[in-house]
Structure 1
Amino acid sequence: MTTRRIDELMLEMEALDLKVDDLDPKHKGVKKVMVERLREFYLEENYGGNIPETLKQVLEFDSPMLCFRFKDLKESEQEDVLGGEDWIAEEKFNGVRCLVSYHEHEGFRFFSRHLSVQDYFPVNLTHAVPILFDNDEGDSEYHFGHNVRIDMQSFVIDAELVCSVQHLKVGKEVSTSSLSAMVALCNADTNLTKEIFKQEWKKKQEALVEINVFDLLMLNGKDWTEEVYLRRKKEIKDSLEGHITISSSFRIIPIVRNNRLQFYQNLLKEKKEGVVLKNIYAPYYADTGRKRLG
């Protein structure tokens, strides 16, 4: 959802002569309606009837699924999440959340869960995520998403972008953590990120940005959000793994079913971020709310 206030959205809609007389600023869902109307206006203004397929695919979903905080669960729920048979754990990453949208005619696009305050589209992060592939000579080189084609029709996957280094010079600033490095790359322009990736590749010969994949929303036109988590995860492995992991930039996050508490404690010892606990029978809630049992 946008950071703009309702009164700011109202002023913008009035300035654009959009319909506002049926809107009640006090109604709970009014902000979402206002954003949708503004977005429709800017989609028409920017693209007419030619909206990019990669953007259109992402606009089918309100937001990446958000976690409910463990400490806010009841004690009985905490015990079930940690010890129950219906739950698994995955490593949590301290990066930038995104939806990865692929279409056979457009390549890859990476979209933030945050909306632009200019047009209310998901912020496009593609310039910050060059993808590492081997060329015909067996050497690795970076390509921006719009130049990459794989043997797939289309998909939307949920992922976390993580910078593999903590101290990265972006412009005049040097980051102090992996997260701040990733944020700096997202905020830099395309020419700068391209130069940074070239320099870092010469130093380390490894992907600077890791694309950590953990869920599936759409595959070849089919909406997968109503399918249970185990089926979505299996489909990623069965249908996508061989196509996206030919690039060392992509990594499909494994699940841990047993000894979840020990897994969490081990991650903390390694100074990692923590874990995300997921119900294996839950659908994908593609909205801005945090579901306690998802």
Structure 2
Amino acid sequence: MLNVPIKPILLHKSDIPPAGSEWIHQLKFDGHRCLLSYAQDNGVKLFTRHQNECTRQYPELQTIKLSAANVVLDGEMVVIDAQGKPCFESVMERFQASKETSIRRLSCNLPAAFIAFDILYLNGNGVTHLPLNERLQLLSDIAGPSDYLTVIDSYDDGDALFQAVVKLGLEGIVSKRKDSIYQLDTRSYSWLKIKNYQHEIVEIAGIRKGEFAWSITKGGKYIGTVEFVPPAARQAFHQISKQLIRKEDREWVYLDPLIRCKVRFQCWTKKGFMRSPSFVEFVY
């Protein structure tokens, strides 16, 4: 498990935080999933959940020191913006950098941090079989203060944490059973993600001819594409759209934007586009 890519546990979706003393709740940081391997004699190696190594993109993490001979941690790689919030676009800029000069420049201008939320391996032994509350105690014991590694906080009241997330405009929360073991390459019902989606009314301004998508606008301004539309809604709109065609090219059919729908999305990008919008319902 040490210094090799692995497939981490995955989460199921939930609309509300689960209730009960058997659950703990944590902030869901807006970054990319990352597995961190550490050895005192070999430094840090980093892997994505898709098993791609990304060590060289984050040279600042080589300064991390842990109170263990070797360890594997699960967590999220984030970049915090000037408002103190995780910025997905910034961490993607870090992740996608390939030239050494760009990596070094970005490590100074957009420093990254690893938010650790679980421990899988410690001092030569796997610990995935231990209950979550014991793993979190091990994690707390080996991780000291660092600019580039933080252990996530846990809370007992999921509803209160989610309301705070909504107020602050953060991504969401994760709820986990205290007694849950860590199941590699499994989507576990013991780990739930509750996202703080935003909602907006938009106009449908076009249909992509190849891989399906709707082009959407707000007040005449292009704000993104919607790929997640149920088949019934696609079919219903397809019949109406024939009467709205303005022009078309090889890739798109352009429409009079007279039909509106509600979409949900994660956030607005820096350039004013919706991130990951999906169809909710038509608005008449």
- TM-score per shorter chain, which class? 0.5 to 0.7
Give how far 1:241 is off: 2.0
**Which residue among 131, 148, 166 is the counterpart of 1:249?**
148
SS in 1 for 2:143: helix
List runs of 5+ in structure 2 lacking aligned partners.
192-284
Which one has the largest radius of gyration? 2
Q: CA 1:278 to 1:150, structure 2 compared with 1: closer, same or farther past 3 Å? A: closer
Query: Do residues 197 (structure 1) and 126 (structure 2) align?
Result: no
Taking structure 1 as the reference length, the TM-score comes to 0.59
Q: Is the 8 A contact 1:64 1:98 kept in 2?
A: no
Provide the rounded CA distance (Å) in 2 between the counterparts of 1:148 and 1:253. 16
Give how far 1:235 is off: 0.6
The count of corresponding residues between Structure 1 and Structure 2 is 188
Q: Please list the CA deviations of residues 216-241 of structure 1 after superposition, one character each: whole Å capped at 9, or x if unmatched.
A: 00001110111000000011112x12
Q: Is the 8 A contact 1:166 1:178 kept in 2?
A: no
Provide the rounded CA distance (Å) in 1 between the counterparts of 2:121 and 2:66. 16
Q: Is the 8 A contact 1:228 1:280 kept in 2?
A: yes
List runs of 5+ in structure 1 lacking aligned partners.
1-52, 72-77, 115-121, 132-143, 168-176, 201-206
Give how far 1:104 is off: 2.1
Aligned to 2:190: 293
Aligned to 2:138: 235
Provide the rounded CA distance (Å) in 1 between the counterparts of 2:66 and 2:175. 31
Q: CA 1:221 to 1:129, structure 2 compared with 1: closer, same or farther past 3 Å? A: same
Aligned to 1:161: 77
**Which residue among 161, 170, 180 is the counterpart of 1:263?**
161
Q: Please list the CA deviations of residues 78-104 of structure 1 after superposition, one character each: whole Å capped at 9, or x if unmatched.
A: 6xx622110010000110101000112
Q: CA 1:150 to 1:250, structure 2 compared with 1: closer, same or farther past 3 Å? A: closer
Taking structure 2 as the reference length, the TM-score comes to 0.61
Q: Please list the CA deviations of residues 123-179 of structure 1 after superposition, one character each: whole Å capped at 9, or x if unmatched.
A: 111122233xxxxxxxxxxxx52x766553100000101111389xxxxxxxxx821
Q: Is the 8 A contact 1:93 1:273 kept in 2?
A: yes
Give how far 1:184 is off: 1.9
Query: Do residues 180 (structure 1) and 96 (structure 2) align?
Result: no
Q: CA 1:235 to 1:188, structure 2 compared with 1: closer, same or farther past 3 Å? A: same
* Structure with greater proportional strand content: 2
Query: Do residues 226 (structure 1) and 129 (structure 2) align?
Result: yes
Poorly superposed stretches of 4+, deviation over 4 Å = 147-151
Q: CA 1:92 to 1:151, structure 2 compared with 1: closer, same or farther past 3 Å? A: closer
Q: Is the 8 A contact 1:229 1:281 kept in 2?
A: yes
Q: Is the 8 A contact 1:165 1:208 kept in 2?
A: no
Q: Please list the CA deviations of residues 222-262 of structure 1 after superposition, one character each: whole Å capped at 9, or x if unmatched.
A: 10111000000011112x122xx2x21111101001x2101
Give how far 1:106 is off: 1.2
Q: CA 1:151 to 1:82, structure 2 compared with 1: closer, same or farther past 3 Å? A: closer
Query: Do residues 85 (structure 1) and 21 (structure 2) align?
Result: yes
SS in 1 for 2:189: coil
Query: Do residues 109 (structure 1) and 38 (structure 2) align?
Result: no
Q: Is the 8 A contact 1:127 1:186 kept in 2?
A: no
Query: Do residues 123 (structure 1) and 59 (structure 2) align?
Result: no
Give how far 1:293 is off: 2.6
Provide the rounded CA distance (Å) in 1 between the counterparts of 2:64 and 2:135. 24
Identity %: 24
Provide the rounded CA distance (Å) in 1 between the counterparts of 2:2 and 2:87. 28
2:87 is aligned with what amino acid? Answer: S
2:171 is aligned with what amino acid? Answer: E
RMSD of Structure 2 on Structure 1 (CA) = 2.3
Aligned to 1:69: 13
